[in-house]
Structure 1
Amino acid sequence: LALHLPFVTLLNPLWFSQSLMKVVWKDCSDIQETLGAVSPKIPSGIYIIQPENTDHLKQVFCEMDYMEGGWTVIQRRTDGLTDFKRMWSQYLDGFGHLPGEHWLGLRQIFNIVNQRNTRFQLHVSLVSQDDTTTYASYDNFWLEDETKFFAIHLGRYAGSAGDAFRGYDQEQNQDTAPFSTSDIDNDGCSPFCTFANKAVESCSVNQNNTGWWFNQCGKANLNGSPLDQDLSTQSYIHWDTWTKNGTLVKIKSVTMKIRRVEIPNLK
């Protein structure tokens, strides 16, 4: 049966990627580059990838419509229905529903961004409660390995949301911070740190038992729950450099996605 290219765009991406092409790709950028040569329209959806130097296949959600496509979604928060109050083991391997809210998993993110001769851009898309959109982008994103608790590394910032990862001073800087959860605490609060004018022993516990790259808590935590916005707690989604008239913008949804950039690897 011959398939014309316009029909290909209507196929389920998961079937399209594995049954039609019989190819295993390294990440969504690899898919976009390969399939872009044979189809003018590549559908967003679930694809199967296998980053180099790994021996297992992994399903990921590829965003192929946004900014020329090729984005591997590593985190999405939309309605608060997926519980992000998780332990280290769950943040390690991932959880949630790929088309909706999910965390891809630290091991999988590490495997993607640490492939040879690659460099990845991180793009954070934010939507406020009143449907205003903004973004923050970093031109070089990678993680250290599991022995270093997947410490985050960020390149140059661009965007309209402000650089919440680095905050306003060095004490708030989360760049190079290791990942923390409520049961694996690497946040630097020893014996405590001050966050929102109160003493905090654990940033994860203080922020709804969610996992993140905390450094004495800092200005960013995108793994909080949108449904906690109206509570007088500090457990909601944080990107505390996004303000309007001096007031923090309440965030309704967020997506974190990564894409290869055509620059020699500088890691």
Structure 2
Amino acid sequence: MNVLYQMCLASTPVHVTATARPTDPLQPHTFNVTLIDIQRYSVLVQLERTDRKSGWDEISITVDWVSMNATYKPNCKAILDSGLRTSGKYQIQLNDLNVVEVYCDMETDGGGWTVIQRRIDGSVNFERNLASYSAGFGNRDGNYWLGLSTMHKLTTTDSYDLRVDVTGCNRVKKYAQYSTFRVQSPNSYILEVSGYSGNAGDTLGRSNGQMFQTVDHFGVHCRRRGGWWAGGCSYASLNGLYAPCRTGEITAGWYYFNNEHLGARFIEMKIRPRN
């Protein structure tokens, strides 16, 4: 069932979170809510009843919603602090005033993480040129790379932590966290990373101070592994070939996870301002 929810705001909200419940609290019905469209004077949501497979009773439904106004936030931590605590796609405003869509993880380790990379299957090709890695590619809900240009603008404005979550071949989950993560000059996108903690091993430390390489940009060492920072592309090979449990330097994996080149099942990189 689609519901057009009327409202009156000074401007079109940039994000809306909606939930639905029976107006009568004694009724046990539950619903999934999908946001379809946001306008200045209305929000269109789709309700799916989940307490039974089909059918609707004549019941009164209350839709609760929270909107974020047109003042864009600079990162997911700021969005979290504004009161929005559901993981999903949001828009943030960079220091050059451009607005970009990101995926915010509001659950892991207190939330407020801006996801910059994710691998969940092999449906998106990560062996791309520098222009593609600079601009970003993929789907914010699935496999994607945020873009070196956006990473540079974010991490040179504030001090960021980096967290890398990896699910290995045997579905064991580990993480690596760094207290410093910065993508330097847009000409070479040199990586600054340090301050490791976690249980997955300091694999990314090999790439500290290195330029980003792609097949068309200084890509001698990392040519076959997807774009990455030189010096560690066969160790922290997160943009390599998605091939869970396959051995080899070109597979997407995290070497010190178990001290071997073994393809991972899930990879996610995310950043959060330290302050």
TM-score range, shorter chain: 0.7 to 0.9
Contact 2:251 2:261 in 1 (8 A): no
TM-score normalized by the length of structure 1: 0.76
* Partner residue in 2 for 1:212: 228
Q: Which amino acid aligns with 2:69?
A: M
Cα 1:13–1:19 change in 2 (3 A) is farther
Residue 43 (structure 1) aligned with residue 75 (structure 2): no
* Partner residue in 2 for 1:39: none
Cα 1:249–1:236 change in 2 (3 A) is closer
Cα 1:221–1:164 change in 2 (3 A) is same
Name the structure with the higher helix share: 1
Name the structure with the higher strand share: 2
Give the unaligned 5+ runs of structure 1.
37-41, 167-172, 187-201, 263-267
- TM alignment of 1:8-23, pairs within 5 A: 12=35, 20-23=68-71
Residue 261 (structure 1) aligned with residue 256 (structure 2): no
Residue 238 (structure 1) aligned with residue 235 (structure 2): no
Match of 1:79 among 121, 125, 132: 121
- Secondary structure of 1:112's partner? helix
Match of 2:238 among 199, 222, 226: 222
In 1: Cα distance, 2:108 partner to 2:213 partner: 30
Cα displacement (A) at 1:94: 0.3
Cα displacement (A) at 1:22: 2.2
Contact 2:244 2:265 in 1 (8 A): no
Contact 1:165 1:218 in 2 (8 A): no
Q: Which amino acid aligns with 2:128?
A: R
Cα displacement (A) at 1:140: 1.1
Cα displacement (A) at 1:150: 0.8
CA deviations over 1:75-115 (Å, ceiling 9, x no partner): 00011111101001000100000000000000001111111
* Partner residue in 2 for 1:31: 79
Cα RMSD (Å):
2.9
Structure 1 or 2, whichever has the larger Rg, is: 2
Cα 1:13–1:65 change in 2 (3 A) is farther
- Secondary structure of 2:131's partner? helix
* Partner residue in 2 for 1:203: 221
- TM alignment of 1:98-113, pairs within 5 A: 98-113=140-155
CA deviations over 1:138-164 (Å, ceiling 9, x no partner): 0011111113x1101112100101101
In 2: Cα distance, 1:144 partner to 1:30 partner: 23
Cα 1:68–1:217 change in 2 (3 A) is closer
Contact 1:71 1:259 in 2 (8 A): yes
- Secondary structure of 1:221's partner? coil
In 1: Cα distance, 2:100 partner to 2:244 partner: 31
* Partner residue in 1 for 2:162: 122
- Secondary structure of 1:142's partner? strand
Contact 1:14 1:46 in 2 (8 A): no
Contact 1:13 1:46 in 2 (8 A): no
In 1: Cα distance, 2:271 partner to 2:94 partner: 14
* Partner residue in 2 for 1:161: 200
In 2: Cα distance, 1:133 partner to 1:110 partner: 28
Cα displacement (A) at 1:6: 8.0
Residue 174 (structure 1) aligned with residue 174 (structure 2): no
- TM alignment of 1:62-77, pairs within 5 A: 62-77=104-119
Residue 96 (structure 1) aligned with residue 138 (structure 2): yes
Cα 1:254–1:98 change in 2 (3 A) is same
Cα displacement (A) at 1:72: 0.3
Give the unaligned 5+ runs of structure 2.
1-6, 9-16, 21-31, 44-64
In 1: Cα distance, 2:166 partner to 2:192 partner: 20
TM-score normalized by the length of structure 2: 0.74
* Partner residue in 1 for 2:51: none
